[in-house]
């Protein structure tokens, strides 16, 4: 069964927060970790693992291994894949006609069945107790409805599982918040972030479907596609939102939110 869900950021600043807003966000991430600490497994969707244009991914590799930090920030660690749950998500998504692939690496099982993790997974995982994982990857060039449907399938599979499972969407928002940032300052980043935080605070994720594609594109976000999957999940298992928090200490917006039954 689904015990909760969270949106979690993956930017280095939450690891060593310097301003009050980011400290508050890091505190919320700590609360999310505690609230979901009695899960048997996490299902984590990340925009900084494998990136395929038009196929969703389900990682089947047994060992998930820290590989790539951002700006030299290393977070070593190794996690196990919850293979049975991963297989059910893959098979159900495939049966539902979704464009999905199962992904292993090197060997199909055993010590050599390994998969690399980046900051996109490692930073959320830093705030969560170590549990077996199912790692999923979104896709940008599929219709929004496909992502929502994927979330519905994931929700159904988790809900039918005997395990207590939490769903985590790794997501950062607009990346154009600062003249000094790599993308400069674009007004759409602020607009998108404000809109998304409004949608999340009101717990009306169906409104994500109304966000113009152009705004998503111009706002330079890492969050939209995972949030559509979360929306699908919450359609199947409605939950209340708790503990939302937003910070933008550098050039990109970060936010946390917790949903519990």
Kindly list the residues in this chain that would bind its own copies in the complex (CB under 8 A). 48-55, 67-68, 70, 101-108, 112, 114, 116, 118-120
Shortest distance in whole angstroms from residue 204 CB to its own copies? 31
As a whole number of Å, the end-to-end CA separation of the chain is 11
CB-nearer residue toward its own copies: 54 or 78: 54
Shortest distance in whole angstroms from residue 169 CB to its own copies? 17
CB-nearer residue toward its own copies: 68 or 195: 68
Shortest distance in whole angstroms from residue 114 CB to its own copies? 6
CB-nearer residue toward its own copies: 87 or 164: 87
The C-alpha angle with vertex 27 and arms to 147 and 195, in degrees rounded to 5, equals 40
Residues 6+ apart with CB under 8 A from 140: 53, 225
**3-class state of residue 232 by DSSP:** helix
Here the tokens at position 155 are: 């929700």
Would you tell me how many other CB atoms lie within 10 Å of the CB of residue 80?
13
Shortest distance in whole angstroms from residue 8 CB to its own copies? 17
Shortest distance in whole angstroms from residue 52 CB to its own copies? 5
CB-nearer residue toward its own copies: 49 or 92: 49
Shortest distance in whole angstroms from residue 19 CB to its own copies? 25
Closest-CA residue to 119 (of 56, 62, 77, 178): 77
Element (H, E) at 58: strand 56-59
CB-nearer residue toward its own copies: 1 or 108: 108
Residues 6+ apart with CB under 8 A from 259: 4, 5, 6, 203, 234, 239, 240, 241, 242
Report d(CA 184, CA 234) in Å as an integer: 34
CB-nearer residue toward its own copies: 106 or 209: 106
């Amino acid at each position: 069964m689904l015990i909760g869900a969270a949106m979690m950021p993956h930017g280095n600043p939450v690891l060593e927060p310097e301003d009050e807003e980011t400290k508050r966000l890091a505190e919320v991430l700590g609360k999310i970790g505690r609230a979901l600490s009695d899960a048997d497994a996490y299902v984590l969707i990340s925009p900084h693992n494998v990136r395929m244009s038009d196929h969703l991914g389900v990682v089947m590799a047994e060992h998930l291994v820290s590989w790539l930090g951002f700006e030299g920030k290393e977070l070593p660690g190794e996690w196990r894949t919850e293979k049975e749950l991963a297989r059910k998500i893959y098979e159900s998504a495939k049966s539902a006609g979704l464009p999905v692939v199962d992904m292993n690496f090197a060997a199909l099982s055993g010590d050599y069945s390994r998969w690399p993790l980046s900051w996109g997974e490692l930073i959320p995982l830093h705030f969560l107790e170590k549990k077996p994982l199912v790692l999923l990857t979104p896709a940008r060039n599929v219709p929004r409805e496909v992502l929502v449907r994927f979330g519905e399938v994931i929700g159904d599979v988790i809900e039918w599982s005997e395990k207590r499972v939490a769903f985590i969407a790794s997501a950062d928002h607009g990346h154009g918040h600062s003249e000094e940032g790599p993308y400069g300052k674009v007004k759409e980043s602020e607009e998108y972030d404000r809109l998304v935080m409004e949608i999340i605070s009101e717990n009306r994720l169906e409104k994500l479907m109304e966000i113009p594609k152009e705004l998503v594109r111009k706002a330079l976000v890492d969050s939209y596609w995972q949030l559509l999957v979360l929306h699908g999940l919450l359609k199947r298992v409605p939950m209340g939102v708790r503990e939302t928090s937003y910070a933008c200490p550098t050039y990109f917006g970060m936010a946390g939110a917790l949903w519990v039954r």
